[in-house]
Amino acid sequence: MRDGASRRINSIVAEEGGFTLLELLAVCALIALMLSLAIPNLRALYHADPLSRSARLVERAVERARTKAIESDQPVPVTIDIAAHRVAVGQDQSGFSADLPEASAITSVQVDSVPAEGSGSIVAWVNERGMIEPLELVIRGETREVHLSFSPFVAPRITEHTGLAGTRSPASPASGARIN
């Protein structure tokens, strides 16, 4: 009798060809549990690397300036404030602005192949067609640095250099250090 009942249940399931509500709820609960465990780890990973975060913020600022310049059909400035660890888009900085993490420092900036000196603000312009004047930045962390290169005709180039010899903490630059 038991074999007959199980054959009958198997034939009913084979005819129906679907999942029960209980099975779907169990799968949704497992997915929710896995996401609740994974998201905090992913968030910590994102915030753990200030050097990569700084590079992404600068890249995002340049992309927003390009979009804003094309939409408004007017040149848009990208302002990099070395001392304040800040990058901003637009004359009034209303387009986009972000503070770079303190654990990273902009150590070198060149606009149109001219090195910037001092620790003030440097402005690179994006024209109304979305082309930026050549811009190169070096952002340094504790043990590595990231080189960002923007040009009018190619996608941004980002390269990373690790194992820097004789590095200093970005928060304590040598006295009289010059941005070059």
Q: How does pLDDT run across 91-103, given as a tens digit for each residue?
A: 775 678 888 888 8
- Write the pLDDT tens digit of every residue in 124-145: 899 999 999 898 988 888 888 8
- 20 contact partners, CB below 8 Å, separation of at least 6: none
Indicate if the pLDDT at residue 166 is higher than 60. no
Lowest mean pLDDT among 27-41, 75-89, 100-114: 100-114
Q: Which amino acid is at 25?
A: L
- In 10 A of CB 60, how many CB atoms? 14
Chain position carrying tokens 């080189």: 147
Indicate if the pLDDT at residue 168 is higher than 60. no
- pLDDT, residue 16, reads 62
Rounded to whole angstroms, how far apart are CA atoms 151 and 175?
32
Please tell me the class of the 50-162 domain: alpha beta
Indicate if the pLDDT at residue 36 is higher than 70. yes
Q: Which amino acid is at 2?
A: R
- The residues spanned by each domain of the chain are 2-48, 50-162
- Closest by alpha carbon to 148, among 96, 102, 47, 80? 80
Rounded to whole angstroms, how far apart are CA atoms 46 and 50?
8
Structure tokens at 122: 């440097």
